[in-house]
């Protein structure tokens, strides 16, 4: 059935769109800077009638194989490599014409520094030549730092790019040598532990007047005693502060820093059991556990977590030195980790960060305010910080003292933004965190030295007073008096030496005295001697035989000598040999007679448990 409409529809074409040459609505970018391993989309889109076809090719080369994707908006290249750098041309074509556009791809690669060694020994007054392999695109700028200070002002040090020459080497050069490499992508560094071996000192040549008293002949030279090796100064007994029901903060210090350099610290703890059990029984508790993390030598606090509330613990610190030996601190006092339900109301007030200041490339200064509570006292502050570009655990620094209001935070990365927050603490609890504030270190310059790290207290003294002048005068008078007393004592000693010269001839020579005295001391023995008896060879070719403070000597014979190897890393494994705890790679135990006397000696180890704390 058909029906006709009374309405009519007329279609009239007023303009006909003919063919059109391809063209760009928006001009595509001309340059792309891409970092190694990343992906990039080279945008290049054009329109035309009919819809143009697009072709891509690389000038003076081929497109990357199996790493390109042709997309509607451009060409995507995955996993960029150095060979991908160059000029790429997109070509849009239809029946009416062609339009092209060149795109330059610039390849960047973050720096890398490889110094081939972590530690080097050099004798005092010798020449030291070191070179690191530095790579990166664009070519990184290189700077050398010694113990946190730029070497550019040291007249004995010459640097040429990645090469450094120290001539002559002095005692002050011992420490941490760092090579920084920086380009527009990133700043990285590598560190070398530099150990300086002092030269032996000898007496000066006798003067002419001295020769005259000996009939014109030179008096016999007294043999010089060898210099004693640097001491391993152990950490002080740690103090413990409650952080929450399952965590504490362990804090420690190191006395005079004149001994061997410390490479890192380890924290150990031992559970003594619940409080009620400790009150009624004498229990030695569990074995010592060692935390996995190697704590840098400039850090003096550490969070121990996953503890049991209402339990008693002891803590101690192991310092590992540049000779790969270690010493332990004294054990802490018994610490009862009390479970508290009223901590929220009993916490000390939180500090307020006012502002931060960049000191140099590796240090920033934090300023804060703290309003004390009349009913609560604090012992100090915790500063927690982390790079703003990283995800992970905050690093904590302890600042002792209630009146401290600023602190210089060092050992940071150059040109890096850090998130910083504070807590106040006392022996019972820590406060809530302050607000988080950002701080950025300065970019790496050609010459700069980081500031000394430590807390600062607000000072109101602006210029020296008259009282200080009197103090200086008094010190000078006292010093002069001491000099006169010293001269008088020296004259008396010389007269006494003349009177006793005859009796001195009957005594053993200085060399014999030295050997007699040395027989009673501890020795550092070459592993070439020990390796023939027990097979233990350390990576640093040194074995120190000293009494082991970690050994349980109550039930063991005093006539057994046990030798174990101390490794530079804590494997926390138990040896399979009975009576020996340590690294299983050192597996021989011998009994020896030493100068017709049996003595028990152990190579000291700090890994005493097969368990680690998390």
Domain boundaries of the chain, sorted by first residue = 20-109, 115-197, 343-456
Provide the pLDDT for residue 536: 36
CA distance 109 to 81: 9
pLDDT digits (tens, 9 = 90+) for 136-147: 999 999 999 998
Whole-angstrom Cα distance, residue 77 to residue 70?
9
Residue 486: which pLDDT band, with cuts at 50, 70 and 90? Answer: confident
Burial of 519 (0-12, 13-18, 19+ CB in 10 A): exposed
Q: What DSSP character marks residue 96?
A: T
E strand residue ranges, 44-96: 47-49, 53-58, 68-71, 74-77, 86-94
Give the DSSP H or E segment for 163: strand 163-166
Pick the CATH number of 343-456 from 2.60.40.10, 1.10.10.60, 3.40.630.40, 3.40.640.10: 2.60.40.10
Order of strands, edge to edge, in the sheet holding 175-182?
119-123, 187-197, 175-182, 141-146, 149-150
Q: How far apart are CA 309 and CA 614, in angstroms?
A: 16
Output the DSSP codes for 349-371: PPPEEEEEEEEETTEEEEEEE--
Nearest by Cα to 456 from 393, 407, 383, 492: 407
Q: Indicate if the pLDDT at residue 269 is higher than 50.
A: yes
> Model confidence over 371-380: pLDDT tens digits?
887 777 888 9
Fold match between 20-109 and 343-456? yes
Span 205-233, average pLDDT: 59
Q: CB count, 10 Å around CB of 368?
A: 23
The answer on pLDDT for 451 being more than 70 is no
pLDDT tens-digit profile of 12-26?
776 666 789 999 989
pLDDT tens string 552-574: 434 333 333 333 333 333 333 33
Residue range 303-324, pLDDT digits in tens? 999 999 889 999 999 999 888 8
CATH homologous superfamily, domain 20-109: Immunoglobulins (2.60.40.10)
Q: What percentage of residues in the chain have a pLDDT greater than 70? A: 67
Largest CA distance in the chain: 153
The whole-number average pLDDT for the span 505-534 is 37
CATH for the 115-197 domain, from 2.60.40.10, 3.20.20.150, 3.30.428.10, 3.40.190.10: 2.60.40.10
Cα–Cα distance, 174 to 193 (Å, whole number): 8
The DSSP H or E segment spanning 473 is: helix 466-499
- Please report, for the chain, how many H helices and E strands are present, in that order: 7, 37
Q: Which residue has the higher pLDDT, 432 or 140?
A: 140
> Using CA of residue 424, residue 429, residue 434, residue 436, what is the dihedral sign?
positive
pLDDT at 345: 56
Q: What does the mean pLDDT of the chain come to?
A: 75
Q: Is it the case that residue 548 has pLDDT exceeding 50? A: no
Question: Does the pLDDT of residue 56 top 60, yes or no?
Answer: yes
| Cβ 98 vs Cβ 22: under 8 Å | yes
pTM: 0.36
């Amino acid at each position: 059935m058909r029906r006709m409409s009374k309405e009519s529809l007329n279609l009239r074409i007023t303009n006909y769109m003919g063919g059109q040459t391809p063209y760009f609505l928006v001009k595509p970018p001309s340059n792309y800077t891409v970092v190694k391993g990343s992906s990039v989309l080279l945008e290049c889109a054009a329109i035309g009638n009919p819809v143009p076809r697009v072709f891509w090719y690389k000038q003076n080369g081929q497109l990357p194989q199996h790493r390109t994707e042709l997309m509607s908006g451009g060409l995507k290249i995955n996993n960029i490599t150095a060979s991908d750098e160059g000029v790429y041309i997109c070509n849009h074509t239809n029946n009416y014409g062609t339009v092209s556009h060149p795109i330059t791809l610039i390849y960047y690669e973050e720096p890398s520094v490889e110094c081939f060694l972590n530690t080097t020994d050099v004798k005092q007054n010798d020449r030291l030549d070191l070179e690191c392999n530095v790579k990166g695109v664009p070519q990184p700028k290189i700077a050398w730092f010694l113990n946190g200070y730029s070497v550019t002002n040291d007249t004995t040090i010459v640097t040429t790019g990645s090469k450094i020459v120290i001539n002559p080497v002095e005692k002050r050069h011992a420490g941490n040598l760092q090579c920084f490499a920086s380009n527009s992508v990133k700043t990285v560094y590598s560190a070398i532990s530099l150990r300086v071996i002092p030269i032996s000192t000898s007496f000066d040549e006798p003067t002419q007047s001295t020769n005259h008293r000996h009939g014109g002949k030179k008096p016999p030279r007294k043999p010089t005693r060898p210099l004693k090796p640097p001491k391993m100064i152990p950490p002080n007994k740690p103090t413990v502060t409650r952080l929450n029901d399952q965590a504490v903060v362990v804090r420690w210090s190191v006395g005079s820093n004149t001994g061997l350099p410390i490479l890192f610290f380890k924290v150990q703890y031992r559970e003594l059991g619940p409080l009620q059990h400790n009150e009624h029984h004498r229990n030695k508790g569990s074995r010592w556990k060692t935390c996995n993390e190697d704590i840098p030598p400039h850090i003096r606090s550490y969070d121990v977590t996953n503890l049991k509330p209402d339990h008693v613990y002891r803590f101690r610190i192991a310092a590992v030195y540049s000779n790969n030996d270690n010493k332990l601190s004294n054990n802490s006092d018994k610490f009862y980790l009390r479970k508290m339900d009223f901590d929220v109301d009993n916490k000390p007030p939180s500090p307020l960060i006012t502002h931060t200041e960049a000191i140099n490339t590796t240090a920033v200064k934090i300023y804060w305010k703290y309003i004390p509570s009349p009913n609560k006292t604090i012992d100090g502050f915790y500063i927690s910080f982390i790079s703003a570009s990283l995800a992970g655990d905050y690093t904590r620094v302890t600042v002792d003292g209630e009146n401290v209001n600023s602190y210089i935070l060092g050992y940071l990365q150059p040109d890096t933004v850090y998130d910083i927050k504070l807590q106040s603490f006392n022996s019972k609890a820590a406060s809530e965190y302050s607000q988080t504030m950002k701080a950025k270190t300065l970019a790496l310059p050609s010459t700069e030295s980081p500031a000394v790290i430590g807390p600062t207290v607000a000072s109101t003294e602006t210029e020296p007073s008259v009282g200080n002048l009197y103090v200086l005068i008094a010190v000078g008078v006292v010093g002069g008096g001491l000099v006169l007393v010293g001269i008088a004592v020296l004259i008396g000693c010389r007269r006494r030496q003349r009177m006793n010269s005859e009796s001195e001839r009957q005594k053993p020579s200085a060399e014999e005295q030295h050997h007699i005295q040395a027989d009673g001391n501890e020795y550092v023995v070459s592993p070439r001697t020990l390796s023939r008896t027990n097979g233990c060879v350390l990576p640093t070719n040194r074995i120190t035989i000293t009494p082991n403070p970690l050994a349980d000597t109550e039930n063991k014979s005093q006539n057994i000598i046990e030798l174990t190897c101390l490794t530079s890393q804590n494997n926390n494994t138990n040896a399979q040999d009975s009576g020996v705890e340590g690294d299983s790679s050192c597996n021989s135990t011998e009994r020896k007679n030493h100068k017709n006397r049996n003595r028990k000696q152990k190579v000291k180890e700090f890994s005493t448990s097969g368990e680690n704390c998390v």
